[in-house]
Amino acid sequence: MTFTLKQKSILPGFGLTLGFTVFYLSVIVLIPLAALFLKTSELSWHQFWHLVASPRALASYRLTFGASLIAALINLVCGVLVAWVVVRYKFPARGFFDSIVDLPFALPTAVAGISLTTLYAPNGWLGAPLMRLGVRAAYTPIGVTIALTFIGLPFVVRTVQPVLEDLDKELEEAAASLGAGRWRTFTRVLLPTILPAAITGFAMAFGRGVGEYGSVIFIAGNMPMHTEITSLLIVTKLQEFDYAGATAIAVAMLIVSFIFLLTINLLQVWSGRPRKASPADDEMIPRIDLRPAFGTQEAK
Amino acid sequence: MSIKVRDITKKFGRFTALEQVSLDINDGQLVALLGPSGCGKTTLLRIIAGLEFPDCGSIQFDGRDITDQTARERQVGFVFQHYALFRHLTVFENVAFGLRVRPRAARSNDSEIRAKVKELLALIQLENQAQRYPSQLSGGQRQRVALARALAVQPKVLLLDEPFGALDAKVRLELRRWLRRLHDEVHITSVFVTHDQEEALEVADRVAVMNRGQIEQVGSPDEVYDSPATPFVFDFLGSVNIFHGRVESAGVEAGTVKLSGPGHEHAFSRTQIATYVRPHELEIKRERNGDSSSVPATVVQVHKVGPLVRVELRGEDTKDIIRAEISRAVFQELALQPGDRVFVKALTERRFESDSPR
């Protein structure tokens, strides 16, 4: 089969739209990323490694990726729960709940950060009771996780919600009539259906968490080796005019994020395997002949 | 398993879906609930299944009241119009679903489940498709998988909600005959919902014709077709010519078509009468031959539909349209042309008192 770029199609404008897409992605994504790698290449391999694998940088990676992962996992569970409640039940404040889910999207991150810090500070409304329980939230990795959980909430809810809304009630009825209880219906029928969307939401929440800056720096306390996130480390390097150092750490982060998202995507491909319908199969009308099925026993 | 439905009423808001419906279904029967959309037939089926609960009335299985049991407890097999297959599971796992979700104590071991599923796949002739996903199957195949899935749990009752409604005409026809043969083999008490009178008459042992939340008539296909209890049943079970008239003293006189036949002697004087005649029960003749029960009419249009010819006529007295169906042979013999003057005679007819004159 010969491959030609120009294929006959009833959809016009392929050349124009592809050209624009390439141009747009180049300007917005590819060129800045390339510049990042270019700047890093000023460093020798040894210098690069020294910067990227310094104890302070490693501690920041652990915090950033660890807290993002925990926050995204919390959101995965709670987000599915929130989406479930908002979609499945009719109650008075439903619309209100539905709209406050978007708040973390809309709120300037710095405002969110300051509010959360005030709340979770040792003398804050939520911080004080937690202190009495012996948990220090603000200025610890726990605080970072709280901020990232707040930021990531809408992602899982908004990806799972439409899938739940489209969910066929008959599937649950079928499961019930086949003898499945509520729990089995949920784990065997509903969960597999919403899983791909939930994983997408999880990946988005995680990605957002890794790159988050504004809401975290207030509540984190920013102690090097302890509560310093990678984004802050980069900003610090920039303020010291260590551009190469900043980009080196950024590149390291980019690579880790990329590997992580790739893994999630593969996971998703695997979990969403049997989705493609082939319309041609609809034309296959089977001839139904019962004879081999019951009828003559000697045929067996 | 026999099913007794007693005085079931179900309302959705202000809409009454079912009103005081009672129905008896004997063990091993295949019963069709037939009616136009919105007549409550699906609601009745879902109430029997336990997917919907009645406002009042009761359901009994084998004399046991199970009105308050859930679908899960009732052990019914339910087949949905749009299959409701689990998309993320293969054909094999779809069929095995009911066996795998049983409580541990009652669950068969894996090899027993495999054997059972294989047997069912052979029954629906999809052994080779076991590892495919529902999206890779045609509509007819999907519905057969849904049927096998419902049969896997060995239900006491099989309920089918417009099982062939989403399929095209040819597959529909094959599948419904297949269902009939399947029922003859398995003998499981079955109820299916349909709006297609042909389907109901062909497949079912008994037909319950429903209209506006009530059952109009229950009987064998022959009974409901040959002696419809109400004008609605007559009308719904096939196309029909309706002639309106009034009983003057004896015999329908003042009206449209003067038609023969007994059955109106007891009618009160001046009662409004509607006479129902099916198109194929009309005879068309060139000559009157002194038969006073024939009425003159003019041929308006002729449609040849396969082996049948549908003739549209206009009665000379009333200018009403009369539809007749004759065989191709008769049509050729008569050599009808639009504009021809002919005489029409009803071979059989049925009369109902009509509440309102036209």
10-residue mean pLDDT series, chain A (300 residues): 59 86 91 87 87 89 93 94 90 88 88 90 86 84 92 92 89 90 90 89 90 88 85 90 88 87 81 48 38 36
pLDDT of A8: 66
CA dihedral sign of residues A122, A124, A130, A131: positive
Task: Find the mean pLDDT for residues B16-21.
Answer: 92
State phi, psi for B354 to the nearest 5 degrees: -105, 140
B259 pLDDT band (50/70/90 cuts)?
Answer: very low
Q: What DSSP state is assigned to residue B281?
A: G
Beta bridge pairs of residue B219: B207
pLDDT, averaged across chain B: 85
pTM of the predicted protein model: 0.75
How many Å apart are CA B204 and CA B179, to the nearest integer?
10
Q: Do B170 and A285 touch (CB under 8 A)?
A: yes
- Nearest chain A CA: its distance from B271 CA (Å): 50
pLDDT of B159: 94
- Nearest chain A CA: its distance from B278 CA (Å): 34
pLDDT of B286: 86
Amino acid at position A213, single letter: Y
Q: Which residue from B89, B102, B181 is facing A179, i.e. has the nearest CB?
A: B102
Q: What DSSP state is assigned to residue B69?
A: -
Q: Which residue from A176, A275, A276 is facing B72, i.e. has the nearest CB?
A: A176
Q: Do A283 and B137 touch (CB under 8 A)?
A: no
- Among A225, A77, A59, smallest CA distance to A152 is for A77
Task: Find the mean pLDDT for residues B326-350.
Answer: 86
Q: Do A283 and B170 touch (CB under 8 A)?
A: no
B35 pLDDT band (50/70/90 cuts)?
Answer: very high
pLDDT of A270: 76
Q: Which residue from A177, A192, A276 is facing B76, i.e. has the nearest CB?
A: A177
Task: Find the mean pLDDT for residues B244-266.
Answer: 48
**Residue B276 in tokens:** 């129902």
Mutate: best of B97, B147, B159, B168, partner A, most A CBs <10 A? B97
- Among B138, B198, B132, smallest CA distance to B167 is for B138
pLDDT of B251: 47
Amino acid at position A239, single letter: Q
Which residue on chain A is closest to B137 by alpha carbon?
A281
pLDDT of A7: 60
pLDDT of A272: 61
pLDDT of B11: 92
Task: Find the mean pLDDT for residues B282-302.
Answer: 83
Q: Between residues 123 and 182 of chain B, which touch chain A (CB distance below 8 Å)?
A: 123-125, 133, 135-141, 146, 149-150, 152-153, 170-171, 174-175, 177-178, 181-182
Task: Find the mean pLDDT for residues B5-12.
Answer: 92
Q: Quick: pLDDT tens for B135-174.
A: 999 888 999 999 999 999 889 899 999 988 878 888 888 8
Is the per-residue pLDDT at B118 higher than 90? yes
Is the per-residue pLDDT at B294 higher than 90? no
Which residues in chain A have Cβ-Cβ distances shorter than 8 Å to B50? 177
Which residue on chain B is closest to A190 by alpha carbon?
B86
**Residue A119 in tokens:** 């709340």
Q: Do B101 and A189 touch (CB under 8 A)?
A: no
Which residue on chain A is closest to B82 by alpha carbon?
A170
Task: Find the mean pLDDT for residues B24-36.
Answer: 93
B86 pLDDT band (50/70/90 cuts)?
Answer: very high
Which residues in chain A have Cβ-Cβ distances shorter than 8 Å to B133? 274
Q: Residue B147: enclosing H or E segment and its boundaries?
A: helix B139-152
Domains and CATH numbers, chain A: 41-274 (1.10.3720.10)
Q: Report the 3 state secondary structure along chain A.
A: CCCCCCCCCCCCCHHHHHHHHHHHHHHHHHHHHHHHHHHHCCCCHHHHHHHHCCHHHHHHHHHHHHHHHHHHHHHHHHHHHHHHHHHHCCCCCHHHHHHHCCHHHHCCHHHHHHHHHHHHCCCCCCHHHHHHCCCCCCCCHHHHHHHHHHHHHHHHHHHHHHHHHHCCHHHHHHHHHCCCCHHHHHHHHHHHHHHHHHHHHHHHHHHHHHHCCHHHHHHHCCCCCCCCCHHHHHHHHHHCCCHHHHHHHHHHHHHHHHHHHHHHHHHHHHHCCCCCCCHHHHHCCCCCCCCCCCCCCCCC
Q: What angle do CA A81, A83, A87 make, to 5 degrees?
A: 120
Task: Find the mean pLDDT for residues B274-286.
Answer: 86
State phi, psi for B321 to the nearest 5 degrees: -80, 130
Q: Do B80 and A180 touch (CB under 8 A)?
A: no
ipTM: 0.78
- Nearest chain B CA: its distance from A19 CA (Å): 35
